Structure 1
Amino acid sequence: MIKHIVMWKLVDATQAPPFKQLLETCKGIVPGMREFEVAVQAEGLEANHDVALYSVFDDAASLQAYVVHPRHQEVVATLPARASRSVFDYKT
């Protein structure tokens, strides 16, 4: 299993809800995607980023299929402006 975590700091934090909505259109787009959860910073809780993605894939091949999938590429191109992006992939 490969866990894929991505976090974004947005140029305009008010864009977090539409950012989340766009990302959620990628849920289930490839075989081998087991989990896909998008969250936005919750007021009153500690966070250094505005949006986070937690996803789980069967293997590196299914993660790569997600990365290059046309829908994923389309979403990446239309997401609201990002100030930074952090990624952490690991095997379990």
Structure 2
Amino acid sequence: MTRAGVLLLLCTTLLLITGGKCDDICPALRDTVDLFISGTHDEYIEQVEKYNQNSAVLETADTLKSCVDERLTAEDKQDALSALNKIYSSSLC
């Protein structure tokens, strides 16, 4: 995965965490990041809106999703999903 791809994943994670509830972070994070990587633009924005209504956050989410859709290859997206599956299987999540 490219450095830009990793940076985009981290930024998206931070977008959700700023508005999420601690006891729901992992399931919500999983859904949001999966949509960020492989979902449609509208599905991702709707998911972010569930946790954060701040217009600046939503605008940033919109920009990041557009960038991911334009720049990451199918291989980059698959690599990211593979890495995330390792995280999801962690006992910490």
TM-score by length of 2: 0.33
Which structure: greater helix fraction?
A: 2
Structure number with greater Rg is 1
